[in-house]
A and B are shown apart, each in its own frame.
Chain A
Amino acid sequence: MLLRHTPKEITERSALVINPAKTCQPIGAMYAALGIHGCLPHSHGSQGCCAYHRSALTKHYKEPISAATSSFTEGASVFGGQANLLQAIENIFTVYEPEVIAVHTTCLSETIGDDIKQIRDKAEKSGVVPGGKHVIYCNTPSYIGSHVTGFSNMVKGMTEIAESTGRKNGKVNVIPGWVEPSDMEELKRLAVLMNVPITLFPDTSGVLNGPLSGEFKMFPEGGVTMKELREAGDALGTLALGEWCSADAARSLDTRCKVPCRVLDMPFGLKATDRFVDALRTIAGTSVPEEITRERGQLVDMISDSHQYFYQKKVALFGDPDQLISMTEFLVSIDMWPMHLVTGTPGKKFEKRINELTAHLPYEVNVQAGGDMFLLHQWIKNEPVDLLMGNTYGKYIARDEDLPFLRWGFPILDRVGHQYFPTVGYKGGLRLLEKILSLLLDRKDRDDSETVFELTL
């Protein structure tokens, strides 16, 4: 379908995006806020923003997504949204009874210049915020950065709850970045195995991968609690997973509460998981248990069993910077060749990291921050690949170019599994390999002539 519309020849474009590989900040803030227990995300803007974000998250998680909106009208857009936000805060605490409201802005409220901190303080003073309840906020202008920026901003907003009593509580903060609820669950499992008490935030496990209970719960069981967020200021240290998603929050904790931080890559694949496990071990002063060593060994074993199939297979990837960096490292480590990489999120640092990770390979990798799917498609047309990896929007290219396609990232609108099966850690690595391998071998089985078609692979 897109085939007919995408020419092979690449021409300079300066004023437009065709088929975006990103979306705007507020949805990231909304997703992050859902990782707080009892939190109702609130979109300070028109109704449409909130509806779109809820729809997109609903389609990805297949779970009810509750979020409120200031329901801006023309009046609010002229006279400012303070009245709307104050009324919203009062209404929300009255009827939906969350523990906390997490307000994020939109291009509309940013441009009219609403001062959310001032409005929040006013709400607290005037008594519409019940005792023991909270309003946190962050600014998420849609015309800066991407959904990843919005996620990072809301996580940073969470750290403002943290308080330092001057006495360390022996816990480690882990900021997982924009990963799936299943991934967050897996990170917690690894910490338990290592016997390291952690505070994971945000934590959408139990919120967006809940069971069918027969009840609609606006605020499911999971999520980091406000108490835990407050105590994050007394942690031994913070591990921030992903420069784009998590570093700002970790640095803010460092500055405000003197909690030292390390920024790591997201633990996708062998090496990045090694670094995560090692960092956790170092910061908590424990040792790596046999169980985790065994899981690592299994991953190495699976790579060795199948390395001949990965050898020099060309891959095109798109998605968000933190994920792509770790995935590129993983692919390279199993002898695959990342050829084309696009993220919609701006930031030249991304291109630099990818270039470093692929510097030793015998070809020039195409990498673009602030790129779009149209460009990716053109690159693929010029230099075909064996595998495409990315969110559901890749299915058009996969169909047009007849490519094996691994759905990985956000959003996934047409498959299930990401809610339940992690791709972080060694176990996650096994799952990624299994998927990659199945795609490659299914393709081989499909395309092999009858003569060479084989039972055993």
Chain B
Amino acid sequence: MTETAKAITSECPETLEERPAIPAGRETIFEERKDQIHRIGEGEFAMACNRDSLAGAVSQRACVFCGSRVVLYPIADALHLVHGPIGCAAYTWDIRGALSSGPELHRLSFSTDLQELDVVFGGEKKLAKALDELIPRYGPKAAFVYSTCIVGLIGDDLAAVCRAAAKRHGIPVIPVQSEGFKGNKREGYLAACKAMRTLVGTGDTSGISKLSVNIMGDFNLAGETWIIKDYLTRMGVEVVAGITGDGRVDSLRRAHGAGLNLVQCSGSTQDLARMMREDFGIPFLRVSWIGIEDVAESLYAVAEHFELTQPELAGNIVERTAELVRAELAVLMPQLKSLRRDLEGKKAAVYVGGSFKAFSLVKAFRHLGMEVVIVGSQTGTEEDYRELAAICAPGTIVVDDANPLELSAFLKEKDVDIFVGGVKERPIAFKLGVGFCDHNHERKIALEGFVGMLNFAKEVHASVLSPIWRFVPRRNLHNSPMNAGEEA
């Protein structure tokens, strides 16, 4: 047996060959992946992260193109042209509910649909032609042209084609260097930030208040950007650009006029915030719009920032913020309390794309009286996980880039009541008879802000307490048919 084949841990000494069915314990972990999993309280904290997935892994991760596409996609008045074979465009057609208050050009799917001959002779001419057909037809404010694996290989000069098209049509035509094989989503976020950076600083900033922000790393899923924008407006803070929630090309162009960048979602837009700090001297705050403390803290941080830097303009901004938070909590807390009564003591697992969300969710679950016993993400850093481990209870499993077998083994071991994850995790949870809440891009209900906390609690409540789980054979241990009958 090779090194790779020793896929067992010390707790589970049987070899895989001796096990007839699907391995059900910790032995479902690759030897190489053991340092991507940590159990709090068991040994020193150490995690290897941001590592390429193992070949052969059933990874839940995606590619560079996917990262770029999800970040840029909500810019609603831009043309998004995918230069590659049809699949890359087909799978990202209206992929998430990033709402727009106006134009909806982003919800269409445009592809150069590269064919064999294009791969042999190059796709530059086709791309140029596609841009010539699309730009006059839709009159977009800018065009993003996404590179895919194949384009990186055949060596189309995307930048040159875009430059020429920009000249012909008089709008920015921006290449996004998102060849899929260059890494995972993180590299895609960076490529998207670089693409957006070419727009930032090209617009007129006159009339923008010094008391102003850009909302970054929020994609207006189910209208979430609007919720945050409303809070900020009530605090007296102007929102210059949603980057990219309810995004517009012109607002990106003038985003450098904002006094402060608010960065949510650690990976996706932080690179742009860094560039804007360097090039325009705009400071940024890392915020989270999920959960009670995190939303309140984020709003207070904004208030305090402006109180410090713009005392005259800011006036009593901290007081205004406190009032806002008080008013929101007065509505939220009583409703939360009644939901909490049913949820007290239940257990949750969290496996999300970015680790920022994991933090907020751990805290959010506390408000429901629930404990997070498994927490992980596709793209967290070691620092992220260290901080996560610090706020979770001993015994909690911290995992990076998990596969379905691991997830299923953990869910059973910890006997969780609800799994928070994305589209590929949903049926795994359901097969195990575990409740589910989609906190990734396919969520249909706003989960940000104070109102989002209530929506979240309702979703968790609905799924955890669903009577369907009484019919799950595995759970009969806990709910014998007789008990279920009595309760019903």
Interface residues in chain A, defined as those with a beta carbon under 8 Å from any beta carbon in chain B: 1-2, 4-5, 7, 13-20, 22-24, 26-27, 40, 42, 45-56, 58-59, 61-74, 76-77, 83-85, 87-92, 94-97, 106-108, 111-112, 141-144, 146, 210, 212-219, 344, 393
User: Is B376 among interface residues, defined by CB-CB distance under 8 A?
Assistant: no
Asked if A71 and B405 make an inter-chain contact with CB atoms under 8 angstroms apart, the answer reads: no
The 0/1 profile, CB within 8 Å of A marked 1, for residues 162-192 of chain B is 0000000000000000001111100000000
Asked if B423 and A143 make an inter-chain contact with CB atoms under 8 angstroms apart, the answer reads: no
**Nearest CB in chain B to that of A15: its residue:** B129
Partner of A212, one of B86, B90, B114, B472: B472
Asked if A45 and B116 make an inter-chain contact with CB atoms under 8 angstroms apart, the answer reads: no
Asked if A20 and B16 make an inter-chain contact with CB atoms under 8 angstroms apart, the answer reads: no
Query: In whole angstroms, what is the CA distance A18 to B405 when docked?
Result: 38
Known pairs A17-B89, A107-B119. 19 more at Cβ < 8 A?
A: A16-B81, A16-B130, A17-B110, A24-B88, A45-B149, A47-B62, A47-B180, A47-B184, A51-B66, A66-B58, A90-B5, A91-B54, A91-B56, A141-B116, A143-B115, A144-B115, A216-B404, A216-B405, A393-B93
Residues of B within 8 A of A144 (CB): 115-116
User: Is B314 among interface residues, defined by CB-CB distance under 8 A?
Assistant: no
Query: In whole angstroms, what is the CA distance A210 to B428 when docked?
Result: 12
Asked if B56 and A70 make an inter-chain contact with CB atoms under 8 angstroms apart, the answer reads: yes
**Known interface pairs A92-B56, A107-B150; A20-B86 also in contact (CB < 8 Å):** yes
Asked if A63 and B404 make an inter-chain contact with CB atoms under 8 angstroms apart, the answer reads: no
Asked if B129 and A72 make an inter-chain contact with CB atoms under 8 angstroms apart, the answer reads: no
Query: In whole angstroms, what is the CA distance A91 to B472 when docked?
Result: 32
Asked if B90 and A20 make an inter-chain contact with CB atoms under 8 angstroms apart, the answer reads: yes
Shortest A14–chain B CB gap in Å is 6
- Interface members, chain B 1-44 (any A CB < 8 Å): 2, 4-5, 7, 16, 22-23, 28, 30
User: Is B138 among interface residues, defined by CB-CB distance under 8 A?
Assistant: yes
Query: In whole angstroms, what is the CA distance A106 to B86 when docked?
Result: 12
Return the 3 tightest CB-CB contacts between A and B, nearest first.
Answer: A48-B63, A214-B474, A24-B87
Asked if B62 and A51 make an inter-chain contact with CB atoms under 8 angstroms apart, the answer reads: yes
Asked if B64 and A15 make an inter-chain contact with CB atoms under 8 angstroms apart, the answer reads: no
Residues of B within 8 A of A91 (CB): 4, 30, 54-57
User: Is B461 among interface residues, defined by CB-CB distance under 8 A?
Assistant: no
User: Is B126 among interface residues, defined by CB-CB distance under 8 A?
Assistant: yes
Query: In whole angstroms, what is the CA distance A65 to B120 when docked?
Result: 34
Query: In whole angstroms, what is the CA distance A146 to B471 when docked?
Result: 41
User: Is B432 among interface residues, defined by CB-CB distance under 8 A?
Assistant: yes
Asked if A19 and B109 make an inter-chain contact with CB atoms under 8 angstroms apart, the answer reads: yes
Query: In whole angstroms, what is the CA distance A444 to B114 when docked?
Result: 44
Query: In whole angstroms, what is the CA distance A275 to B486 when docked?
Result: 54
Query: In whole angstroms, what is the CA distance A112 to B179 when docked?
Result: 14
Query: In whole angstroms, what is the CA distance A52 to B66 when docked?
Result: 9
Query: In whole angstroms, what is the CA distance A151 to B260 when docked?
Result: 51
Asked if A87 and B113 make an inter-chain contact with CB atoms under 8 angstroms apart, the answer reads: no
Query: In whole angstroms, what is the CA distance A146 to B64 when docked?
Result: 23
Interface residues in chain B, defined as those with a beta carbon under 8 Å from any beta carbon in chain A: 2, 4-5, 7, 16, 22-23, 28, 30, 52-66, 81, 84-93, 104-105, 107-116, 118-119, 126-127, 129-130, 133-134, 137-138, 148-150, 152-154, 180-184, 404-405, 408, 423-424, 426-428, 430-433, 471-475
Shortest A370–chain B CB gap in Å is 9
Asked if B153 and A112 make an inter-chain contact with CB atoms under 8 angstroms apart, the answer reads: yes
Asked if B90 and A24 make an inter-chain contact with CB atoms under 8 angstroms apart, the answer reads: yes
Asked if B138 and A5 make an inter-chain contact with CB atoms under 8 angstroms apart, the answer reads: yes
Query: In whole angstroms, what is the CA distance A47 to B187 when docked?
Result: 13
Residues of B within 8 A of A112 (CB): 153
Residues of A within 8 A of B130 (CB): 15-16
**Nearest CB in chain B to that of A50: its residue:** B59
Asked if A20 and B405 make an inter-chain contact with CB atoms under 8 angstroms apart, the answer reads: no
**Known interface pairs A90-B5, A142-B85, A216-B428; A23-B91 also in contact (CB < 8 Å):** yes
Shortest A38–chain B CB gap in Å is 11
Asked if B138 and A108 make an inter-chain contact with CB atoms under 8 angstroms apart, the answer reads: no
Residues of A within 8 A of B84 (CB): 107
**Known interface pairs A63-B427, A213-B431; A143-B404 also in contact (CB < 8 Å):** no
Asked if B180 and A49 make an inter-chain contact with CB atoms under 8 angstroms apart, the answer reads: yes
**Nearest CB in chain A to that of B1: its residue:** A94
Residues of B within 8 A of A215 (CB): 22, 431-432, 474
Asked if A19 and B108 make an inter-chain contact with CB atoms under 8 angstroms apart, the answer reads: yes
Residues of B within 8 A of A96 (CB): 58, 405
Partner of B133, one of A16, A42, A94, A212: A16
Partner of B149, one of A2, A53, A64, A108: A108
Residues of B within 8 A of A70 (CB): 55-56
Residues of B within 8 A of A72 (CB): 149, 180-181
Asked if A47 and B427 make an inter-chain contact with CB atoms under 8 angstroms apart, the answer reads: no
Shortest B30–chain A CB gap in Å is 6
Asked if A22 and B109 make an inter-chain contact with CB atoms under 8 angstroms apart, the answer reads: no
Asked if A73 and B93 make an inter-chain contact with CB atoms under 8 angstroms apart, the answer reads: no
Shortest A304–chain B CB gap in Å is 41
**Nearest CB in chain B to that of A86: its residue:** B55
Asked if B86 and A23 make an inter-chain contact with CB atoms under 8 angstroms apart, the answer reads: yes
Residues of B within 8 A of A20 (CB): 86, 89-90, 93, 109, 111, 113
Shortest B284–chain A CB gap in Å is 29
Query: In whole angstroms, what is the CA distance A378 to B405 when docked?
Result: 46
**Nearest CB in chain B to that of A1: its residue:** B104
**Known interface pairs A22-B86, A23-B87, A107-B150; A69-B57 also in contact (CB < 8 Å):** yes
Residues of B within 8 A of A143 (CB): 85, 114-116, 118-119, 150
Asked if A71 and B57 make an inter-chain contact with CB atoms under 8 angstroms apart, the answer reads: yes
Query: In whole angstroms, what is the CA distance A210 to B152 when docked?
Result: 40
Partner of B64, one of A17, A48, A62, A66: A48
Shortest A142–chain B CB gap in Å is 4
Query: In whole angstroms, what is the CA distance A62 to B85 when docked?
Result: 26
Shortest B266–chain A CB gap in Å is 20
**Nearest CB in chain B to that of A73: its residue:** B52
Asked if B55 and A67 make an inter-chain contact with CB atoms under 8 angstroms apart, the answer reads: no
Query: In whole angstroms, what is the CA distance A393 to B88 when docked?
Result: 16
Residues of A within 8 A of B85 (CB): 24, 107, 142-143
Asked if B107 and A1 make an inter-chain contact with CB atoms under 8 angstroms apart, the answer reads: yes
Query: In whole angstroms, what is the CA distance A97 to B92 when docked?
Result: 32
Query: In whole angstroms, what is the CA distance A344 to B64 when docked?
Result: 26
Shortest B336–chain A CB gap in Å is 30
Asked if A46 and B180 make an inter-chain contact with CB atoms under 8 angstroms apart, the answer reads: yes
**Nearest CB in chain B to that of A54: its residue:** B424
**Nearest CB in chain B to that of A97: its residue:** B16
Query: In whole angstroms, what is the CA distance A181 to B106 when docked?
Result: 34
Shortest A363–chain B CB gap in Å is 29
Residues of A within 8 A of B113 (CB): 16-17, 20
Asked if B87 and A27 make an inter-chain contact with CB atoms under 8 angstroms apart, the answer reads: yes
Shortest B105–chain A CB gap in Å is 7
Query: In whole angstroms, what is the CA distance A301 to B26 when docked?
Result: 58
Residues of B within 8 A of A83 (CB): 55
Query: In whole angstroms, what is the CA distance A49 to B61 when docked?
Result: 10
Asked if A55 and B91 make an inter-chain contact with CB atoms under 8 angstroms apart, the answer reads: yes
Residues of A within 8 A of B112 (CB): 15-17
Partner of A95, one of B7, B88, B432: B7
Query: In whole angstroms, what is the CA distance A180 to B86 when docked?
Result: 23
Shortest B344–chain A CB gap in Å is 24
Asked if B87 and A49 make an inter-chain contact with CB atoms under 8 angstroms apart, the answer reads: yes
Shortest A303–chain B CB gap in Å is 36
Show 15 A/B contacts (Cβ-Cβ < 8 Å), sorted by A.
A16-B110, A20-B86, A23-B86, A52-B91, A64-B424, A68-B58, A69-B58, A71-B57, A94-B4, A95-B56, A107-B114, A111-B154, A143-B150, A144-B115, A216-B404
Query: In whole angstroms, what is the CA distance A1 to B109 when docked?
Result: 13
Residues of B within 8 A of A13 (CB): 133
**Known interface pairs A62-B427, A112-B153, A215-B432; A94-B5 also in contact (CB < 8 Å):** yes
**Nearest CB in chain A to that of B471: its residue:** A212
Query: In whole angstroms, what is the CA distance A95 to B430 when docked?
Result: 23
Residues of A within 8 A of B408 (CB): 216
**Known interface pairs A107-B119, A212-B431, A219-B22; A142-B129 also in contact (CB < 8 Å):** no
Asked if A108 and B150 make an inter-chain contact with CB atoms under 8 angstroms apart, the answer reads: yes
Shortest A71–chain B CB gap in Å is 5
